[in-house]
Amino acid sequence: MTFEEADRLSSGPQAQFLLDLMPRFPIYVDLLPEAARAVIGQPHVEGAGAYRLLLAEGFTYGRVVDVFDAGPLVSARRDQLETVRRSRVLRARAGAGQTRALVSAGEAASFRVTLTHVGAEDGLGAIVIAPEALRALDVTEGDPVMVREI
């Protein structure tokens, strides 16, 4: 079956499908053909760019691989991520700015992020953000936003 079909079947109520495919005993990697061993823990060619981006952001490969393609699974502590470390929480103020930034608001299901222009921080914990970005984020002046200049 195709990867897309297997991926669809492995989520939701059909997840038992994946468990049924898993071996009941450890896989001895040393007994696999060299061609298989060579790709374990390696990203697919089409995902290599995304993998490098995640590593640059602060994710690490902990020698755990994906069940479908044996590609690397990465993880990170949120506070170690470059975007989080370089972000500041400020109060939103409507206006025009010159600096490109990622601006986000909300959490979990209400999380929103946009690429926009911001002004300089005013020294009082507020930052100017384009009005259309405030609408896209569903925030009003004075609401907290997370800002990462890029």
The burial of 129, by beta-carbon neighbours within 10 Å (0-12 exposed, 13-18 middle, 19 or more buried), is given as buried
Q: Which residues pair with 27 in a beta bridge?
A: none
Contact criterion met (CB below 8 Å) for 126 and 146? no
| Catalytic annotation, pick one of 6, 9, 42, 44 | 44
3-class SS letters over 101-127: EEEEECCHHHCEEEEEEECCCCCCCEE
Amino acid at 45: V
Other beta carbons less than 10 A from residue 40's beta carbon: 15
* 44 labelled catalytic: yes
3-state class (DSSP) for residue 11? coil
User: Could you tell me how far CA 75 lies from the centroid of its own chain?
Assistant: 10
Residues in the chain: 150
Task: Catalogue the active-site residues.
Answer: 44
